[in-house]
Structure 1
């Protein structure tokens, strides 16, 4: 195996990358290689998908399969090699169906179509050893000796950005929100990658085009979430348990949470959110369920401790699963794209066994004293008081805005975000999104003339809300976003974060501080281009970086 798609990447060797029997995320070599092969197969579907789309009959089922397949290859989503073997067979069947439709359409119109090669011609081997042999020729470093590490790194940037786009689009799709423009963009990117591009400028242009596509995807997902569950509203969330049977839900998928709330209505079972599910409490239709009891635990990397202590079953709905410990392996369930060998997987929102487990387990014995944190500051909530915010800025009461968000993780250096947020002066406002918020969301920030100093905007995909807020403020002050008293301090971890970063760059947002480490797949040359064009810089010392952000700007 070789993998360097996330911030967990092994950096102890000369060349960064996980290349042993098991990656730092816990992914074994077999699963890693099958994931590489699945990406190769999906490129082939994309090749024929783009062609059949050009003939006027896009294949929506193939597009849905592409989104799901790419999602399963994200960091900390699916570790089940058997599931990948099955998806490889399904990928070949899907590709062949789309190819046959291309040929049928062309023949009906008296046309001939090109017989595509590369991924479009791939056929799955008959056994696991043979599949792994096929995978050895299609990994992320394919062609390294011929094209060099800069090209390989930029291809990786495009692929990993595409994985993030696909994950967000899948979240929208399962809520019945889809877009032919998005599907066309995903197919086009797969077709682009299938050609093994070597031009650095073309790769950078494709990366920025993906960023623009991801903005549309995040807008689609925002419409899906608010269309189904209402517009987020500032809402206090209990972070201490109440007595009774309990289920814990982690991940990102609000549709799964809603289905579980419906299934457990009237059972007496309390449902708690974990990790990136925390913002669910801000949606009126979800918060209306009395048995949505609160949030339990912290960010994803704390789950082994959190899940061990939780006295009920756990449902993982998307990334970010880590290897289940023996103490809770028999009471954790997966759904959607998530998988772990030996862990029970629930399909079609059939939560029967999960509910049975909740009834059999003890639940919380006692109700703890009430403690709350507040979520739900989406773009509608913030822009609803925009006049107060603008007046506070003009009066000098708000000096600066910080967006401190992104993914959390276990790597050293992430205390930087805690220090940065807590040291931000009292006349500044901190906006946050993603699970990075757990680094500081229990700190007492107070308010400025009734405006909370900490605004929890939501999940990582709610970067869309942050963009809308920043754009609206720029419009109100008659300036560009880069001219606002606004600093972006971002923690990245996996491929959704890569997609969001590409969106910010595509919008021309400059001087983003990124950490705790820079992506291993970006070579010094590629990083130099991003520094030159966009001013990307690594995080440093929190106090020093804060002082730089607050320093008067040159006229």
Structure 2
């Protein structure tokens, strides 16, 4: 295997025997093959679109194939093998549709090779061998590190964008141009000799499309559950039976809340589900009791100590310990071998496991934190924020956020937040917030110094806040007293970074280490065009930012 799609890449280069995430060689090869077949589906779908023909089941299937290969989603080799077979069937459907439309229009269909025609093996072991034959390393040997790295930057950006598109689709929000881009990008990635300029252009287009997707998902979430409002969230448990929900999917949480109402079970959020407490359509459930624990990388300890059932939605699952394997459940695209998977959102097994478990024996203390500062809430007090800047009470804004992880060096974000002067405001989002969101920061003229904007996809809200401030001060975003201090881990962070670059945002600090797939040549381009830079130390970076 060879994988360098996440920040944990071994020695900053890539995982070659087993993934630091827990992905083994078999799973890695099958994920590579699934992505390869998805490219084949898109080769036909992209040509169909050029003839004015679309097919929504094909669009949604490719989106799900992409999301399935995001870090910490599906570790189940048997399920991956079944997905590959389903993808091959979908590819055959796309081929027949393509050839039929060509015949109808009097055109000779192209004879497509590679991902569009490779015969998929019947057995899992043979599929693994096929995955090995189309590995990243083989491409690097043929095309070089720079081209391959840019191909993978695009691939990971598309994967992250697909994750957000899938969330929006679940809430009945779709945009045909988004699916069209997925097919365009995957089709392009089969090109024999792409150029650096072509790849850079498509990567920035991925950022543009991801901005549209995040806006669509924002519309889906707020249209379904209302605009987030500032909300206090309990971070210590209540006595009684309990279910912990981790991941990102608000629909899964809503259905669980409905099915547990009146059953004497408290529901707790974990990780990226914390912002759910700010949505009126979810906070109305009285048994949505609070948040338990922190970011995803601490789950093996936190889940072991949690005395109830656990539900994993979307990504962020780690290898379960035996102590809780019987009471953790997956749903949606998430899978781990031997873990019970919930289909069709029938959470009866989760509820039974919670009732069978001891639950919390006593109330914890009543400590609370604040969430719910999406762009609607922040812009509702924009006059106070603007006045605070004009009066000199607010000197600078920091966006400190992104994915958290286990790699050393992430204490930088805690230190940065702690050392930020008291006349600065910190916006935060995604699970990186858990590095400092339980600290006390106080307020400036009634405006909290720490504003939790939401999940990683709520980078859209942060951008809207920045754009509104730029409009109010009649300047560009890069001229604002605003600095972006970002942490990255997996592919959703990649597509957000591409969005920021598409918008022309400069001077981003990125850490705790730079992506292994970004070669020195590509990094030089990013530095030259956008002045992107790695984080150093909190003290040095703060000093450099504030003296400007």
How would you bin the TM-score normalised by the shorter chain?
A: over 0.9
Q: Give per-residue Cα distances to partners, 1:221-266, cap 9 Å, x unaligned.
A: 0001001110000000011111111100000000110011011111
Counterpart for residue 119 of structure 2 = 123
Alpha-carbon offset, residue 194 of structure 1: 1.5
Tell me, yes or no, if the aligned pair for 1:245 and 1:268 is still in contact at 8 Å.
yes
Counterpart for residue 19 of structure 1 = 16
Cα distance between partner residues in 2 of 1:504 and 1:140: 27
Counterpart for residue 228 of structure 1 = 224
Counterpart pick for 1:488 among 484, 491, 497: 484
Counterpart mapping for 1:117-156 below 5 A: 117-156=113-152
Alpha-carbon offset, residue 367 of structure 1: 1.3
Q: Does 1:448 align with 2:441?
A: no
Counterpart mapping for 1:241-256 below 5 A: 241-256=237-252
Q: Does 1:544 align with 2:531?
A: no
Counterpart for residue 212 of structure 2 = 216
Alpha-carbon offset, residue 197 of structure 1: 4.3
| Secondary structure, aligned partner of 2:106 | coil
Counterpart pick for 2:427 among 415, 418, 431: 431
Cα distance between partner residues in 2 of 1:106 and 1:146: 33
Alpha-carbon offset, residue 334 of structure 1: 0.3
Tell me, yes or no, if the aligned pair for 1:508 and 1:534 is still in contact at 8 Å.
yes
Counterpart mapping for 1:281-300 below 5 A: 281-300=277-296
Cα distance between partner residues in 1 of 2:184 and 2:194: 16
Q: Does 1:39 align with 2:35?
A: yes
Counterpart pick for 2:257 among 255, 261, 286: 261
Counterpart for residue 9 of structure 2 = 9
Counterpart for residue 530 of structure 2 = 534
Tell me, yes or no, if the aligned pair for 1:235 and 1:374 is still in contact at 8 Å.
yes
Counterpart pick for 2:96 among 100, 103, 108: 100
More divergent stretch after superposition (247-256 vs 364-373): 364-373
Alpha-carbon offset, residue 53 of structure 1: 1.8
Counterpart pick for 1:87 among 83, 87, 92: 83
Tell me, yes or no, if the aligned pair for 1:197 and 1:203 is still in contact at 8 Å.
no
Cα distance between partner residues in 1 of 2:52 and 2:118: 25
Cα distance between partner residues in 1 of 2:445 and 2:504: 32
Tell me, yes or no, if the aligned pair for 2:29 and 2:129 is still in contact at 8 Å.
no
Tell me, yes or no, if the aligned pair for 2:247 and 2:273 is still in contact at 8 Å.
yes
Cα distance between partner residues in 2 of 1:197 and 1:321: 37
Counterpart pick for 1:387 among 383, 394, 397: 383
Cα distance between partner residues in 2 of 1:384 and 1:239: 27
Counterpart pick for 2:157 among 152, 161, 166: 161
More divergent stretch after superposition (188-197 vs 79-88): 188-197
Counterpart mapping for 1:330-345 below 5 A: 330-345=326-341
Q: CA RMSD in A?
A: 0.9
Alpha-carbon offset, residue 140 of structure 1: 2.1
Cα distance between partner residues in 2 of 1:311 and 1:124: 44
| Secondary structure, aligned partner of 2:268 | strand
Counterpart for residue 475 of structure 1 = 471
More divergent stretch after superposition (338-347 vs 117-126): 117-126
Counterpart for residue 349 of structure 2 = 353
Unaligned runs of 5+ in 2: none
| Secondary structure, aligned partner of 1:373 | strand
| Secondary structure, aligned partner of 2:204 | helix
Cα distance between partner residues in 2 of 1:240 and 1:136: 47
Tell me, yes or no, if the aligned pair for 2:181 and 2:209 is still in contact at 8 Å.
yes
Unaligned runs of 5+ in 1: none
Cα distance between partner residues in 2 of 1:195 and 1:37: 17
Alpha-carbon offset, residue 506 of structure 1: 0.5
Q: Give per-residue Cα distances to partners, 1:211-230, cap 9 Å, x unaligned.
A: 00000000000001001110
Counterpart for residue 366 of structure 2 = 370
Cα distance between partner residues in 1 of 2:525 and 2:198: 13
The alpha-carbon distance between structure 1 residues 209 and 197, as it changes in their structure 2 partners (threshold 3 A), is farther
Cα distance between partner residues in 1 of 2:193 and 2:379: 43
Cα distance between partner residues in 2 of 1:149 and 1:368: 52
Cα distance between partner residues in 2 of 1:525 and 1:110: 46
Q: Give per-residue Cα distances to partners, 1:336-377, cap 9 Å, x unaligned.
A: 110000000001101111111111111111112211000000
Cα distance between partner residues in 1 of 2:485 and 2:193: 32
Tell me, yes or no, if the aligned pair for 1:31 and 1:79 is still in contact at 8 Å.
yes
| Secondary structure, aligned partner of 2:341 | strand
Alpha-carbon offset, residue 98 of structure 1: 1.2
Counterpart pick for 2:107 among 103, 108, 111: 111
Counterpart pick for 1:65 among 61, 67, 72: 61
Alpha-carbon offset, residue 486 of structure 1: 0.3
Counterpart for residue 169 of structure 2 = 173
Alpha-carbon offset, residue 503 of structure 1: 0.2
Q: Does 1:274 align with 2:270?
A: yes
Alpha-carbon offset, residue 145 of structure 1: 2.4
Cα distance between partner residues in 1 of 2:194 and 2:212: 27
Tell me, yes or no, if the aligned pair for 2:225 and 2:281 is still in contact at 8 Å.
yes
Q: Give per-residue Cα distances to partners, 1:63-108, cap 9 Å, x unaligned.
A: 1111111111111111000011001100010011111111122222
Counterpart for residue 70 of structure 2 = 74
| Secondary structure, aligned partner of 1:221 | helix
Cα distance between partner residues in 2 of 1:449 and 1:101: 62
Q: Give per-residue Cα distances to partners, 1:397-423, cap 9 Å, x unaligned.
A: 000000000011111100000000011
